[in-house]
Amino acid sequence: MRAKLSQGERIVLVAGVLLIADLLFVPWHDIELPGDVEALVDTTRTGVQAVYPAYGIAAVVLTAVMIVQIVVATVLSLRLPESVPWSQIHLLLGIFVAVVLVIKLVRLTDSLGYGAYSGVLAGILVAYGGWRISREAEGPTDAAESGSG
């Protein structure tokens, strides 16, 4: 049983929860309409709504997979198959999440809301957390070992 989360796992958990909240609730696109039409119509769209919703949905699902694996393995102390390279999976999923969000951002740059920028930042942090998890699984580097001698 591992009671303590590694730094990479903490980064993925915090950034992942923020990313999911950003994609589901924060406006990624805010279209300005002339006159009083804007008061009658919701002109904002979240990261999982239309304009290119598949990118946002993919990011939510993959981030949720990363979070669930960490929670199941550490908090609930359930044994997951050791033959599965979870650290490499976290690395690949993190990179994929960040790339998908950058693609979503650049596909339509008109009328971007603040959620687009905060979401991409959170996606990059999820990727960094996945990279940290993969590095932590490799163990200490030779430079760290020789420097402590």
Length of the chain: 149
How many structural domains is the chain composed of?
Answer: 1
Residue of 7, 21, 5, 16 lying closest to 127 (CA atoms): 16
- 88 domain-assigned: yes
- The answer to pTM > 0.85 is yes
Task: Please report whether residue 49 resides in a domain.
Answer: yes
Residue 2 lies in a domain: no
Indicate whether 36 belongs to any domain: no
Domain extent at residue 96: 7-31+41-138
Q: Is residue 145 part of a domain?
A: no
What pLDDT tens digit does each residue of the chain (149 aa) get? Answer: 455 899 999 999 999 999 999 999 999 998 887 777 777 777 889 999 988 999 999 999 999 999 999 999 887 888 878 888 999 999 999 999 999 999 999 998 888 999 999 999 999 999 999 999 999 988 876 555 555 54
DSSP symbol at 81:
P
In a domain, 1, yes or no: no
